[in-house]
Structure 1
């Protein structure tokens, strides 16, 4: 990134300007093919810690397992912007999200299409930030900070693997790629 390029952090106005600068969309090489190409769901979450290094988990009211803060990326929304939006909506926190820790592919399972699951570094919360957490009443039954071993029995196995892999990436100072929570590197 050069000095002339502002850091966009998921800013829709920057994306709109970039699209305009790109000019007309590329023509389809076979008319109608774009509508037949596969689409993937994308979800983005944050690995957030407290001062003791425990991970923040939320308790969704609509499923029996714990989750990390985050959610589905909407159409025309960047994964980083989605993660920021979801954390703010779910917990009332406006976090400065850090680097991407993990890109994890998840296969089709039941009615759910295959997807890409991204986890960003949510940083370490100050005691004041922890105290300021306000779980969304319509979506969350609560939140708690747990080490991964304590959280594991309350997570889907793939989620436990995914969070553990993201935590390994955090400690290694790298970004990892996984498939269904297993390292593919």
Structure 2
């Protein structure tokens, strides 16, 4: 089944066909309950590296911390498709993302509702790909490749934990689950 993923990633026509094949949606067991259920935000980012194993970080113009490339998943958009779209919009790169490294739950914080933060393997960029990066002008002040130790003080603490946990998952060849950047066995 995972062999179908890249072919369907973000393909609204394929998803529409799958929905038709699935048949009528399930009836609400309690009329009106679907509208009362909680909703979560979902964000998807990519752990992208250079040939030396350093991680690609972007410098958003609208916040004081570095981020990994990625962003919010839109309605009816798969997380994988959202991550590819965000990387393309932010950096001008067409990446084929690898496996899911991390699912990290983040609690409600200020005006931001709780969310799931997904991190995919963005692979290792060639020199040509790095030279082709074009940061989105108004959204990004730039980008840089950093070792995790050098990046940590420039990340929000929860993001530092999340990136480190995703990196551990990459090295372990596994997918991890975390809560606010902390591993859950």
TM-score per shorter chain, which class?
over 0.9
Q: CA deviation at 1:106?
A: 0.2
Partner of 1:131: 131
Q: 1:168 to 1:4 in 2, by over 3 A?
A: closer
Q: Structure 1 stretches of 5 or more lacking a match? A: none
Any residues of structure 2 matched to 1:54-73 within 5 Å, and which? 54-73=54-73
**Distance change (3 Å), C-alpha of 1:5 and 1:54:** closer
Aligned length: 185
Output aligned runs, 1:104-183, within 5 Å: 104-183=104-183
User: CA separation in 1, counterparts of 2:184 and 2:133?
Assistant: 35
CA 1:5 to 1:158, structure 2 compared with 1: closer, same or farther past 3 Å?
closer
Q: Distance in 1 between matches of 2:5 and 2:106?
A: 33
Shift of 1:3: 8.2
How large is the Cα RMSD of the aligned pairs? 1.5
- Runs of 4+ with deviation above 6 angstroms: 2-6
How high is the TM-score relative to the length of structure 1?
0.97
Q: Which runs of 5+ in 2 are unaligned?
A: none
- 1:107 and 1:15 map into 2 onto residues whose CA distance is 30
Measure the CA separation in 2 of the matches of 1:3 and 1:178: 26
